[in-house]
Amino acid sequence: MAHYPKDIKSWQRLESETVYTCRIFSLRKDRNRSPRDGREHDFFVLESGDWVNIIPITSDNQVVLIHQHRHGINDITLEIPGGMVDAEDPSPLHAARREMQEETGYDSDDVISLGAIHPNPAIQENRCHTFLARNVEKRFETHFDTTEETEVILVPMVQIPDLVRQGRITHSLVVTAFYWYDLLLRNS
Task: Give the start-to-end residue ranges of the domains of the chain.
Answer: 12-47, 51-186
Please tell me the distance from the alpha carbon of residue 163 to that of residue 141, in angstroms, as a whole number: 27
Cα 114 from Cα 136, distance rounded (Å): 16
User: Is the pLDDT confidence value at 3 over 80?
Assistant: no
Quick one: 51-186 is in which CATH superfamily?
Answer: Nucleoside Triphosphate Pyrophosphohydrolase (3.90.79.10)
Burial code (b: 16+ CB inside 10 Å, e: under 16) for 166-177 equals eeebbbebbebb
Q: Tell me the per-residue pLDDT of 55-64, one tens digit each, with 9 for 90 and over.
A: 999 999 999 9
CB 166 within 8 A of CB 175: no
Q: Is the dihedral of CA 45, 46, 49, 51 positive or negative?
A: negative
Rg over CA atoms, the chain: 19
Give the residue among 187, 164, 185 at the shortest CA–CA distance from 174: 164
pLDDT category of residue 129 using cuts at 50, 70 and 90: very high
Q: State pLDDT tens for residues 73-116.
A: 999 999 999 999 999 999 999 999 999 999 999 999 999 999 99
* Torsion angle (degrees, nearest 10) of CA 150, 156, 161, 162: -90
pTM of the model as a whole? 0.93
Each residue of 141-184: pLDDT tens digit? 988 777 777 899 999 999 999 999 999 999 999 999 999 999 99
From CA 69, how far away is CA 142, in angstroms rounded? 16
Predicted local confidence at residue 150, as pLDDT: 84
Q: How confident is the model at residue 1 (pLDDT cuts 50, 70, 90)?
A: low
Measured CA to CA, the distance from residue 144 to residue 154 in angstroms comes to 19
Q: What are the phi and psi torsion angles at 98 (to 5°)?
A: -60, -45
Q: What are the tens digits of pLDDT across the range 5-57?
A: 778 899 999 999 999 999 889 999 999 999 999 999 999 999 999 999 999 99
Q: Which helix (H) or strand (E) holds 63?
A: strand 62-70
